[in-house]
Structure 1
Amino acid sequence: MVPFAGYSMPVQYPAGLMAEHRHTRDAAGLFDVSHMGQLRLVGPDAARAFETLVPVDVAGLGVDKQRYGLLLTDEGTIIDDLMMVNRGSDLFVIVNGACKAGDIAHIQDRIGQRCQVIPMPERGLLALQGPKAVDALSRLVPGVEKLVFMTGGAFQWNGGNLYITRSGYTGEDGFEISVHDSQAQALARALLAQPEVKPVGLGARNSLRLEAGLCLYGNDIDTTTTPVEAALNWAIQKVRRTGGERAGGFPGADKVLAQLQDPAALQRKRVGLVALERIPVREHTELQDAGGRKVGVVTSGLLGPTIDKPVAMAYVDPQHAAIGTRLNAMVRGKPVAMEVSTMPFVPTRYHRG
């Protein structure tokens, strides 16, 4: 157990990181992510108000549809990444645990006059991830098997209200379950009693998300990076980019839209890397070109248990970002050959129906 964002969090259980990682890829792993922040935005203007803070199509989001989003500074850099769901009666938002106090204060300050911003500290959050997650959860909560990737719904369990989305941060099929704290432990134990399910800690959560090519806030994205530098262009829908009344209008829009229109203006870009030697390359490792010139830095890196190779994410000069480019990671003063790779490193298996 380690301290994290004001909580005591499990890095691993007795089986260990590698076993937990593989079990999630093969069956179903249960993560307690109750440290994350949950909040509701309520009112007829909530979606349009939230659009003034994120470069995302919020107003066009259908009921029980989920979307990935980014809170931006006035300079167009990333305060936090988040998930949002239009639940009809409210906009349900989930933010990162280490950022939640600042995020909620920022949202309240910017749009609290236009909608109610209601934190939900009484809600726990469980993530059940893996190809057999649907088998385990549907025994306890019939009907969840009808959900598809990035959709959600209200369900009941033992008289309590759940809100479940078919989503997660491992690259696998799976679910995230918002549950009242009075029932969180009982639901976790009921899930762990299913034959497919084992508990998984922060260590394997990190290795799973890295293999899936997903950013970790504080490592791969932060208030020094823009969405375009972070290769998160896909998270900015067309309606917020060009033409029409809803294009732009978010913090730092001029800078972000200019980078989208002219990628040559970028100073750096997030890329995936695979090591050509079996030497793990960790965050903060310097990257050099063949001539020994610094061209980037690693932001996340480890030995991928599924791919069985060292993988990493890094920011590099745009001229070194092309797939197949060879770079040297300087590990304890010695060069480790790496190659720029497509991401995800392991194919995703989301259930799209």
Structure 2
Amino acid sequence: MKTALVGDIGGTNARFALWRDQRIEQIRVIPTADHARPELAILAYLSEVDQPLKALEAVCLACAGPVGGDLFRFTNNHWQLSREAFCRELGVKELLLINDFTAMALGMTRLHDGERITVCDGEPEPGRPRLVIGPGTGLGVAGLLPLSGGGWRALPGEGGHICLPVGSEREAAIWAHLHRSLGHVNAEAVLSGPGLLTLYRACCALDGQQVALDSPAAITKAALAGDAYAAAVLEQFCRWLGRIVGDNVLTLGARGGVYIVGGVVPRFAEMFLRSGFSEALREKGQMSRYFDRLPVWLVTAPYPGLEGAGVALQPLLEGA
């Protein structure tokens, strides 16, 4: 049985696992701040799970940011990686680098029962693309395209950096406030973990409110505990996510459905289901009916990025 290592590396955490017999095993989550380089984090992981480096057939790392060339700089952490130096230092024959949302999209093909919650009822249109999108340390966006012979192809992009849309006077005021400090206001400036805190602070500044909360977790906790102002900020977050999802559905033609992923939204899943997300999703004027019967799911699977990295790596292992 061949053994490979798969990694899903975001801005805050690196998740590693062994890939054996098309399954992930020995999962560990390592803060990226704990190690200077990804090679050191991998060596620490292998030591912890008692896996000899020489037994690895290949490595697949799903990385936040555009992948290409020898040198890769991670978008939201201090790591960088040279493919050539990585393979030389670790003695790895095969290194596959893929975008983290390529892995996330492929992970949707491995979901099990109970790992997604229905947000909007509907039926996937056969043969149509699906959208995979979600806030975490940043905002990830990818397409999932059905292949004529069966299977799926992930279509990665950098959709988190598109312009933040404005759909109301309130949103225009928030956007203007952010523009004064940020210049270009991209989607993940608001629709991410750090973005939730940015949104809260902007709302406080506009409303003359004291900034009483100092982290995304604190905002979510306060909203769930009944704090009306924190709940209103979270509602605005959900509505803006709806607008962005709707824009991407129209652009991709994603009548196959939408997967909401990432670590942020599942923390307030019940509030999200009651929010104005689905209303904002459909606010597209004459194209509003395009969203009739469009299925939207909130993904609660614990490690879809690792699963997707394994899916991406499997053809290479089978050809080795």
What TM-score do the two structures reach when normalised by structure 2? Answer: 0.32
TM, length-normalised to structure 1: 0.29
Q: Which has the higher contact order (CA 8 A, sep 6+)?
A: 2
